[in-house]
Structure 1
Amino acid sequence: MEYEVLATPGEIDFAPQSTLAEILQNVRTILTTPKYSVPLNREFGVTSTWLDDPLPVAQARLTAEIIAEVQRREPRVRVTQVTFEGDAQEGILRPKVRVRLVEQLEQLA
């Protein structure tokens, strides 16, 4: 089963009700944290170096970075799809990431 995570800031639940809720919250945190903004872990998050690139280039760079960062920071899931919503005219590019639990992938193999 795949789960969709939208890169929108939200409240942090310090005691998630399930492992799945914890994993999805972790992915959302990765997506919404700008790199270099975490004082003791400057490498955590996603960079915004693509900010002034043309839309197709920005989407490609951001997709690659999201996949790599989620793999590194949350090994319990694999990214299966990255799409974007937002308004190109307004300069809004919000990633929507689909993930699958690694346990489920192992069961399929």
Structure 2
Amino acid sequence: MIDLFAVEFISPDNAAEEVIRNLRVLFTTPQGTVPFDRGFGVDFSIVDEPVNLARGKITVEYVRKAQRYEPRAKVTEVFFEYKENKLIPRVKVRVDAID
């Protein structure tokens, strides 16, 4: 099972905390639950897919949603780690244009 509420981020830039917080909210919000912006969040129905297919779909979802909702961040890598019998997405990001 993939635990989409336990996304972990890896970012070398401590000044990018706001961007990381924004991504954490974006990636842990089920799509369709935010009034006036039903596209915000991630399609949680992905967890019902076979694990290998779900990994690819989650990766694409994270990249596309970051581009749309947090353009200061670029998702450079998504990999998965088993922790306590769950598959945890780990997201590497590069943060651009922080003033």
The interval holding the TM-score normalised by the smaller chain is 0.7 to 0.9
1:26-65 paired onto structure 2 within 5 Å: 26-65=22-61
Structure 1 outlier segments of 4+, above 6 Å: none
1:64-83 paired onto structure 2 within 5 Å: 64-83=60-79
Counterpart of 2:91?
A: 97
Deviations 1:5-45 (CA, angstroms, capped at 9, x unpaired): x626xxxxxxxxx8621111001111111101112211100
Q: Which runs of 5+ in 1 are unaligned?
A: 1-5, 9-17, 105-109
- Bigger relative CO (Cα 8 Å, ≥ 6 apart): 2
Aligned length: 87
SS in 1 for 2:48: coil
Q: Which runs of 5+ in 2 are unaligned?
A: 1-5, 9-13
The 1-side partners of 2:32 and 2:40 are apart by 7
State the identity %: 37
Q: Which has the larger radius of gyration?
A: 1
Q: TM-score under structure 2 normalisation?
A: 0.75
RMSD (Å) for aligned C-alpha atoms:
2.2
Question: Could you say which structure has the higher strand fraction?
Answer: 2
